[in-house]
């Protein structure tokens, strides 16, 4: 019940808060749960204390690394020294080993699948309790009482860790699904708005263009006036091109639909972006290994890739250049597109706002480029995962089912 406390409180009060705020709240709730476990322990006859204090500590270490684990490590040892008794120093040494070793796994742990994280956390918990029990063998006789205690301790530790991790992963899945639904609805609204506005604007543009072309053929206007008409016609063509681009948000164009493995589109966009990369001293490392095919709008996919390439290059130009890694591969009937840069990176708050209309991390940006990226991937039933660290770079991982 003590360990379920932070999960329930988070679900009721904090699930919809910002990520950075949630992180601090979860660390605080984990510290409270840990202290409650220590306040009501099982006291062994030899003076040792057995409780579940290391369950929240291991979870925070795996999900949050050293930065988030440090407050728990400090609170645990301060409280343990306050309680005193036999085993205080051993508790300090043991918690210090966990503090040093477990967070090393954090980055690898976060890249695992949901099932992989549950298994890893349970195995870490199992190893933790086995080491603890091994230290007790020097002070307890290896009789029936010890082995019963060992069985109960192992089942409790691993069982509780498994239940808590399943709940955490379910919360993460629900948050991702909710965000995906909200993003899908947002893109649908933009698509419908783009379609209606584009059609309404295109009609007067066509009429105006027709009358200007007729006027341009008149013999009663001067050469300078003809020049003005030519400029007007060029601007009308540009306006119609902008309208067509907005219309691409609405639906794929039938004349551009292909069934392919994206090799031509990837090669085409790579050739287009190479001069831009050279100007900003960015090296492009390209890898293509995909045989899976998919129906998609060629123009939209090309524009989607170009937007991501440009964003990656522009994220590195202030650093004097860098490397843009482009990798297209296949995995479990999914086309995987990985685009990684070594640029300035983004915070979790910035990542959470990507793809929203008129939000951009660039001063001169409009956000429509990333909106187009998310809209295009949404149309082919794909998903986008963004992994970024401030000052180290960003990775866009796109998964498209075939």
pLDDT for 121: 92
253 pLDDT higher than 70: no
Which pLDDT value is given to residue 355? 67
394 SS3 class: strand
At 344, is the secondary structure helix, strand, or coil?
coil
CA–CA gap between residue 164 and residue 174 (Å, rounded): 15
pLDDT of residue 20: 47
In this predicted model, which residue has the larger pLDDT, 138 or 289? 289
Q: Of 226, 234, 241, 227, which Cα lies nearest the Cα of 208?
A: 234
Which residue in 131, 147, 141, 73 sits closest to 103, CA to CA?
73
The neighbour count for residue 38, using CB atoms within 10 Å, is 20
For residue 42, report the phi and psi dihedrals to the nearest 5 degrees.
Answer: -95, 120
Q: How far apart are CA 217 and CA 238, in angstroms?
A: 21
Average pLDDT rounded to a whole number, residues 284-304: 88
Least confident of 34-38, 112-116, 135-139: 135-139
Q: What is the pLDDT of residue 118?
A: 92
pLDDT, position 136 = 74
pLDDT given at position 159: 92
Identify the three-state secondary structure at position 318. coil
Alpha-carbon distance 341 to 282, whole Å?
9
Nearest in space to 76 (alpha carbons), one of 61, 184, 191, 205: 61
Point out the least confidently predicted range of 6-20, 87-101, 339-353.
6-20
Half-sphere CA count of 63, side-chain side, radius 13 A: 20
How high is the pLDDT of residue 79?
87
Q: Answer with the residue of higher pLDDT: 23 or 273.
A: 273
pLDDT over 90 (residue 338): yes
For the ranges 134-138, 184-188, 271-275, the one whose mean pLDDT is highest: 271-275
Greater model confidence, 313 or 363: 313
H-run or E-run covering 297? strand 294-297
Specify the higher pLDDT residue, 285 or 186: 285
Q: What are phi and psi of 390, to 5 degrees?
A: -55, 125
Question: pLDDT tens digits for 52-82?
Answer: 888 999 998 998 888 888 989 999 889 888 8
CA pair distance 5, 56, nearest whole angstrom: 11
DSSP letter, residue 11: I
Q: Looking at 170-271, which runs of residues are DSSP E strands?
A: 257-260
The residues, ordered by sequence, that sit 6+ positions from 377 with a Cβ below 8 Å of its Cβ are: 304, 383, 384, 398, 400
Give the position of tokens 């956390």. 121
| Lowest pLDDT segment from 30-34, 82-86, 304-308 | 82-86
Does residue 295 carry a pLDDT above 70? Answer: yes
Per-residue pLDDT of 111-129, as tens digits, reads: 888 899 999 999 999 998 8
User: Across residues 22-37, what is the average pLDDT?
Assistant: 84
Residue with tokens 């690898």: 108
Q: How many other β-carbons are positioned within 10 Å of the β-carbon of residue 326?
A: 22
The pLDDT of residue 222: 82
> 23 versus 279: which is more confidently predicted?
279
- Write down the mean pLDDT value for the chain: 82
Task: Give Cβ neighbours of residue 394 (< 8 Å, ≥ 6 apart).
Answer: 312, 315, 340, 341, 343, 345, 346, 386, 387, 388
As a whole number of angstroms, the distance between CA 374 and CA 274 comes to 23
- In angstroms, the first-to-last Cα distance of the chain is 44
- pLDDT in the model for residue 191: 65
Give yes or no for residue 24 having a pLDDT over 70. Answer: yes
């Amino acid at each position: 019940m003590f360990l379920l406390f932070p999960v329930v409180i988070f679900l009721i009060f904090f699930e919809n808060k910002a990520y950075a705020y949630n992180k601090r709240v979860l660390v605080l709730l984990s510290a409270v749960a840990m202290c409650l476990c220590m306040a009501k322990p099982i006291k062994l006859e030899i003076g040792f204390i057995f409780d579940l204090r290391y369950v929240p500590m291991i979870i925070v270490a795996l999900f949050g690394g050293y930065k988030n684990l440090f407050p728990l490590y400090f609170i645990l040892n301060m409280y343990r020294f306050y309680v005193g008794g036999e085993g205080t120093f051993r508790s300090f040494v043991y918690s210090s080993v966990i503090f040093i070793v477990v967070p090393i796994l954090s980055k690898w742990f976060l890249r695992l699948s949901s099932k992989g994280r549950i298994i890893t956390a349970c195995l870490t918990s199992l190893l933790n309790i086995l080491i603890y029990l091994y230290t007790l063998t020097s002070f307890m006789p290896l009789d029936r009482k010890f082995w019963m205690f060992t069985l109960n301790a192992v089942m409790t530790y691993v069982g509780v860790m498994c239940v808590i991790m399943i709940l955490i992963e379910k919360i993460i899945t629900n948050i991702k699904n909710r965000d995906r639904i909200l993003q899908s609805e947002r893109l649908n609204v933009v698509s419908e708005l783009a379609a209606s506005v584009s059609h309404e604007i295109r009609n007067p543009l066509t009429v105006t263009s027709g009358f200007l072309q007729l006027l341009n053929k008149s013999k009663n206007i001067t050469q300078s006036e003809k020049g003005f008409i030519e400029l007007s016609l060029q601007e009308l063509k540009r306006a119609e091109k902008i309208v067509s681009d907005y219309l691409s948000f609405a639906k794929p164009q039938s004349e551009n639909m292909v069934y392919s493995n994206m090799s031509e589109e990837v090669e085409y966009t790579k050739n287009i972006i190479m001069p831009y990369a050279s100007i900003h001293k960015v090296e492009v490392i390209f890898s293509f290994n995909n045989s899976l095919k998919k129906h998609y709008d060629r123009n939209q996919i090309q524009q989607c890739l170009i937007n991501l390439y440009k964003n990656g290059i522009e994220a590195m130009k202030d650093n004097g250049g860098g490397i843009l890694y482009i990798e297209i591969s296949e995995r479990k009937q999914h086309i995987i597109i990985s685009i990684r840069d070594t640029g300035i990176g983004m915070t979790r708050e910035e990542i959470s706002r990507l793809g929203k209309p008129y939000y951009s991390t660039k001063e001169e940006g409009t956000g429509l480029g990333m909106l187009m990226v998310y809209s295009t991937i949404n149309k082919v039933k794909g998903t986008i995962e963004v992994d970024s660290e401030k000052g180290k770079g960003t990775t866009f991982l796109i998964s498209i089912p075939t």
